Amino acid sequence: MSNLQRRLFLVRAPLALAAAGALALAGCGGEGSGSGAPTPASTTANASPSAPPTPSASPSKTPDSRPLSATSDDPQKVAISLKSQIAQIGKIVKITEDNDANNLIGRPGQYDAATFMQDTRLPCTAKDQYDELSIDCGAKIERWASNQNAIARAADIQQKLKDFGQGTEYDYVRDGLILRVSGDLKPSAAKKYETAFAGEKAP
């Protein structure tokens, strides 16, 4: 072996041994970490304790996905609550498929429950049971499948009244319910309906 080869050997041998030692340490230091690379000391020293895993929500905690019509207030109960707050509300009549002047209750895409409230301040001269339960004689609560449906219903009513010149009515929406109040009542009287409807709690 020449002098040059001997010097190269002396330089390469320590480098090779150092590299082999580093590989051996890497193999031992990665145990349990899932990685072959060693963790730098500074990172390990400053790392905060790992937080315990967050438990996943149980199925019973998922939001209620049922339509509002299945969970919202019963129009009949709401009407009774309003009557207790507004002295001028007379009789209360539950709307059915047999007395619904609109002939819409229970039909696809329409309200699934409704209640009529007579207002004794209105000089209502009913010709039959349908006239007797019309908005002209008081107020009505309809229950729709969603808040969006109730809003759309109110908008449709107002548009038709405007287009066909059929008078006026006050419409108030809360969740899936729409309260329709005769436009023949004074604004101050309608305001009492609105306030009671917005803040009432059905019994």
81: left (phi over 0), alpha (psi -120 to 50) or beta: alpha
Give the tens place of pLDDT for each residue, 106-118.
Answer: 999 999 999 999 9
Q: Identify the bridge partners of residue 118 per DSSP, sorted by sequence position.
A: 138
- For residues 80 and 15, state if they share a domain: no
- For residues 3 and 101, state if they share a domain: no
* Helix axes 75-83 and 187-199, enclosed angle (nearest 10): 120
pLDDT at 138 over 90: yes
Give the tens place of pLDDT for each residue, 152-170.
Answer: 999 999 999 999 998 899 9
Sign of the torsion angle spanned by Cα atoms 100, 103, 108, 111: negative
Give the tens place of pLDDT for each residue, 79-107.
Answer: 999 999 999 999 999 999 999 988 999 99
Q: Would you say residue 174 lies in a domain? A: yes
- For residues 15 and 111, state if they share a domain: no
Residue in 145, 151, 142 with CA at minimum distance from that of residue 177: 142
The CA distance from 71 to 197, in Å, is 17
Q: Which is more confident, 61 or 118? A: 118
Q: Would you say residue 46 lies in a domain? A: no
Q: Would you say residue 94 lies in a domain? A: yes
- From the centroid of its chain, how far is CA 3? 86
- For residues 34 and 75, state if they share a domain: no
Q: How many domains does the chain have?
A: 2
User: Range of 108's domain?
Assistant: 68-199
Q: Would you say residue 87 lies in a domain? A: yes
pLDDT at position 126, please? 66
Q: Would you say residue 57 lies in a domain? A: no
- For residues 118 and 190, state if they share a domain: yes
- For residues 100 and 18, state if they share a domain: no
pTM summary value: 0.63
- For residues 92 and 188, state if they share a domain: yes
